[in-house]
Amino acid sequence: MSAHDGGQPAHDDHGHDDLGIHATLKGYLTGFVLACVLTIIPFWIVMSGGFAKSSTTAVFVLGLAAVQIVVHMIYFLHMNAKSEGGWNMLALVFTIVLVVITLSGSIWIMYHLNSNMMPTMMDPSNLP
């Protein structure tokens, strides 16, 4: 049955292989330094007053957050395309699709809700 595995030499400590994750000090430290930098920059930008337009600052902060989430995924959560035979990545991509639809959809639909709804509801002359 396990003829396919037969060619590999025996593992010295299969504790690693059972868990399927190889954490390294270098990986954690790289992730930590990157995460620190990506945390300090947005805090510094906002606390020092930000850019002239707050929408520019918002885009900047969100962009850095997205990069930091990717850093956490790779260095702390050990994500890659091959872990768990790709099922990890598949679940992640599916989740990201749902999250993007939920977030952008809600904000898009609801953003002008007040300006669209309130005057018509309050102003009797608009009623048929």
SS3 content of the chain, % helix, strand, coil (to 5): 75, 0, 25
Residue 34 has phi, psi (to 5 degrees) of -60, -45
Nearest to 71 by CA among 16, 29, 20, 24: 29
56-85 residues near other proteins, rule: CB under 8 A: 57-58, 61-62, 64-65, 68-69, 72-73, 76-77, 84
Q: Whole-angstrom Cα distance, residue 103 to residue 94?
A: 14
Cβ-based nearer residue to other proteins, 54 or 120: 54
Which of the residues 18 through 37 are near other proteins (CB under 8 A)?
Answer: 18-21, 23-25, 28-29, 31-32, 35-36
Amino acid at 77: L
Please report, as ranges, the residues that interact with other proteins according to CB under 8 A: 1-10, 13-16, 18-21, 23-25, 28-29, 31-32, 35-36, 39, 42-43, 46-47, 50, 54, 57-58, 61-62, 64-65, 68-69, 72-73, 76-77, 84, 87-88, 91-92, 94-95, 98-99, 102-103, 105-107, 110-111, 113-114
